[in-house]
Structure 1
Amino acid sequence: MSRLVVVSNRTVDPRKTAAGGLAVAVRESLQRTGGLWFGWSGKIYDESDEMTSRRGVHVQTLGNVTLATVDLSQQDHDNYYLGYANGVLWPVFHYRLDLADFDTRFAAGYRRVNQLFAEKLLPLLRPDDIIWVHDYHLIPLAAELRAIGCGNRIGFFLHIPMPPPMIMAAIPEHEWLMRSLFAYDLVGFQGQIDVEHFTHYAESEANARQVGPQQLRAFNRTLRLGAYPIGIDVEEFVSLANGKEAREMFTRMRDEYSRRRLLLGVDRLDYSKGLPQRIHAFRELLAHYPENRDSATLIQIASPSRESVAAYDDLRRQMDSLCGAINGDYGELDWMPVRYIHRHVARKRLPGLYRASKVALVTPLRDGMNLVAKEFIAAQDPSDPGMLVLSRFAGAAEQLKEALLVNPYDTQGTAHAIQRALTMPLDERRNRHAALMKRIREHDVHWWSSSFLDTLQDIP
């Protein structure tokens, strides 16, 4: 069996079950093959220090998995990570051209760090390694590896949405980015709509032609495409829900809100998550369905995210204002309509909070997948499950059809869906939950990893 090499912006110890995210997704495959995980160490060195500026690769062995990391200079970090990855690609891929900063220095830094990754990774590779590159930080990595002689099979997975052609074409370097993607053997997306967006983009901008089922030919290379919606480790999350911390959280929430129904939002504080629109929808619920006053409470967790970026600071102030206004206008001495929490909540406690909630609001303006929706489903009591209100613009909506799908820009429509969720009969909630649970079990994180890697392995 070929060794798996995973490359991502950051690495974590794959042995830690609480690591979440990508660690859970690739842990099994890395351990099975004695794999290598390569990425940025998270450390920034002082460029004025000659010794530190020549740092090489830091290698450590964790079980049968090797972690290899490199440090970045402050300039490279600012241009590659803050400037291009999160200042250009993140907003554009989430349809927010108005928030993108197309500074040419950022593009140069982005390419420079991808070249650095390629140069440091190549000596660590074996001839039969399978390389799996993750996310928008590293789009050009395969092209940089090919340029210095790497002939391995290389796959790429985009965790965030793929925008429509005309939005993608607004990036000044979009042609170079597209050509870079054709250096991969397989490119995976979260949903079929992302595959269609990329296909139309490649056909219109590069005269790519389809040469087989989900195969495109351009730049003298054939690229395989596919939708591989990422899932969660359902069994691990169910086990987490039965753990001490989750049970304590459930009991506390049940007792504290015994007279009220909980609505829940769990997000990073990010402009893609539709948080102000969600608060407006909750206000509409209280205004047009007054039976929810003194009865329904929204707990909105918005964990800190990229707080050095101005757009995030503006969003935080907006959320403070909106939540304060609702509590001032509708609150009572013994009832606060919105509990807004701007900090992280421990992952082990989240399942208890999910299970105590009658409704989960997962209403991003655009999202690659959104695993909170799947975690909420997994944490429910099948005999009395809560209901999921889900944005049609989340990647999860392609799979989770039995949720109540909403347009987050339509605040009145979202309020109506929340009311429907709060008043839905038990039998309907059970039936919907059973169908949703079946789907997240069938397409869990293990299915995601194995289906992508099996396809990549079979490419000639």
Structure 2
Amino acid sequence: MSRLVVVSNRIAIPDGSKSAGGLAVGILDALKNTSGLWFGWNGEISEISGEDDQDELSVVEDDGITYASVPLDQNDYDLYYCQFSNAVLWPALHYRTDLVDFQREAWDGYCRVNDLLAKRLQPLIKDDDILWIHDYHLLPFASALRKLGVKNRIGFFLHIPFPTPEIFNAVPTHDELIKMMSEYDLLGFQTESDRQAFLDNLSQLTSLEQTDSGTHQAFGNTFTTGVYPISIAPESIKEMAEGPLPPKMAAIERELREAQNIISCERLDYTKGLPERFLAFEALLEKFPQHRGKVRYTQIAPTSRGDVQAYQELRHQLETEVGRINGKYGSMNQTPLFYLNQHFQRSLLMKLFRLTDVGLVTPLRDGMNLVAKEYVAAQDPADPGVLVLSQFAGAANELTSALIVNPYDRDDVAAALDKALTMPLAERQARYNDMMAVLTKNDIANWRETYLRDLHNLTLHGGQ
């Protein structure tokens, strides 16, 4: 069996302090089964700068998996991670070209770090390894490996959206990025819209041909594209949600029972549509006065990239809106909107999801949004809550029994919230059962196995 090598911007080196989440849940089993290697940045900033310093490679063995990681120096971290990845690619790929801050120096740093990481990884690669690269930080990584002579199968999966040419063309180096991405053997996307947007970008830059077998040819490269919507482990979520409540939650449960409850949870980010969501809740209280004093909305949004100006401004905006809405619709004994800028343990969140009546997930643009899937999986089948979901989240392509809304239309979201809060039990159960059938069929294991099967079945790069 070929060994799996996973490369991601950050790697989850086990230390026994917390359970795996996110990407780790999806790949750890595959890494264990192949005695695989996980490679990436360890999150540390090195005081020493130097591309030839191989001593900084750290290797840890745990439970049959090899974790290999390197630090970045401050300059590379600033240029590759803070500036190009998160001030250019993140907003551009989420259709926020107004927030793109392009600097040529940052582009050079982004490419340099990808080259540096490729050089660190190359000596660790075996001839029959299969490589799986993850997310927007590493768009040029296959190109960097090919320059070093690596001919292994190299797959890529993009966890966030991919924009149409009209949007992506705003990135000055979009043409170079597209060409570099064509050096992967398999490019995986969350939705068909994302996959097609990538191909549309390609076809604007060069001749794009498709073979009878479904592969594409461009820039002298042959590659395949596919749609692989990432998912969750629904049984694991269900177990966390059903587990006994910790003592500190007993009071919370009693308090929640006093009203109908809407809950949202995501990191603080301008792509999540939080200001629009607050205004939609205000519209609910304004247009459906029967809910006043009887509904509570809790927004959990831990700080993300707090040193970035756009995020600081967002936090201030939300705090202002909370005060205004509560001042308008609150009373001495009832606060309608709670905004918690703090982190909650995942197991605790699943229990909170189970205790609430409505899950409100309305990003302005999202690759998938696993919170939507987690909310559904956490529900009590006998008395499930209702999911209100943005049409611009990748999850909306699968969870079609949610109440699908346009997050830019506050009246649409308010009407959906009213429908969710008044929905009969039989309809709630039917919608829940439909969505659980989808999540059970396409769980995180199916996502991983489908992608790796397709990657394994490809011919090696260059037809070897």
What is the alpha-carbon distance in structure 2 between the residues aligned to residue 315 and residue 214 of structure 1? 44
Corresponding residue for 1:80? 80
What is the alpha-carbon distance in structure 2 between the residues aligned to residue 159 and residue 383 of structure 1? 33
Query: Residues 417, 407 of structure 1: CA spacing in aligned structure 2 closer, same or farther, 3 A cutoff?
Result: same
Q: Secondary structure at the match of 2:347?
A: coil
Map residues 104-143 of structure 1 onto 2, 5 A cutoff.
104-143=104-143
Corresponding residue for 1:302? 301
8 A Cα contact 1:249 1:349, kept in partner: no
CA displacement 1:232-286 (0-9 Å, x = unmatched): 01111112123335x6576443311222001001011000000000000000000
8 A Cα contact 1:2 1:33, kept in partner: yes
What is the alpha-carbon distance in structure 2 between the residues aligned to residue 51 and residue 368 of structure 1? 34
Matched, 1:387 2:383: no
Corresponding residue for 2:3? 3
Gaps of 5+ in 2: 460-464
Query: Residues 342, 295 of structure 1: CA spacing in aligned structure 2 closer, same or farther, 3 A cutoff?
Result: same
Corresponding residue for 1:34? 35
Matched, 1:276 2:275: yes
CA displacement 1:209-250 (0-9 Å, x = unmatched): 2224652210111110001000001111112123335x6576
What is the alpha-carbon distance in structure 1 between the residues aligned to residue 98 and residue 104 of structure 2? 17
Gaps of 5+ in 1: none
Corresponding residue for 1:290? 289
Corresponding residue for 2:198? 198
What is the alpha-carbon distance in structure 1 between the residues aligned to residue 37 and residue 148 of structure 2? 20
TM-score scaled by structure 1?
0.97
What is the alpha-carbon distance in structure 2 between the residues aligned to residue 360 and residue 288 of structure 1? 20
Map residues 8-407 of structure 1 onto 2, 5 A cutoff.
8-13=8-13, 18-47=19-48, 55-212=55-212, 214-245=214-245, 251-407=250-406
Q: Percent identity?
A: 45
1:21 partner letter: G
- How far 1:45 sits from its partner (Å)? 1.2
Q: Secondary structure at the match of 2:211?
A: strand
Q: Secondary structure at the match of 2:299?
A: strand
- How far 1:53 sits from its partner (Å)? 6.4
Query: Residues 94, 263 of structure 1: CA spacing in aligned structure 2 closer, same or farther, 3 A cutoff?
Result: same
Matched, 1:456 2:455: yes
Q: Secondary structure at the match of 1:244?
A: coil
1:7 partner letter: V
CA displacement 1:304-355 (0-9 Å, x = unmatched): 1000000000000000000110111110111001010001011110111001
- How far 1:84 sits from its partner (Å)? 0.3
Q: Secondary structure at the match of 1:427?
A: helix
CA RMSD of the aligned region, Å?
A: 1.6
Query: Residues 52, 116 of structure 1: CA spacing in aligned structure 2 closer, same or farther, 3 A cutoff?
Result: closer
2:11 partner letter: T
What is the alpha-carbon distance in structure 1 between the residues aligned to residue 386 and residue 352 of structure 2? 14
- How far 1:14 sits from its partner (Å)? 5.7
What is the alpha-carbon distance in structure 2 between the residues aligned to residue 87 and residue 219 of structure 1? 28
2:385 partner letter: G
- How far 1:204 sits from its partner (Å)? 1.8
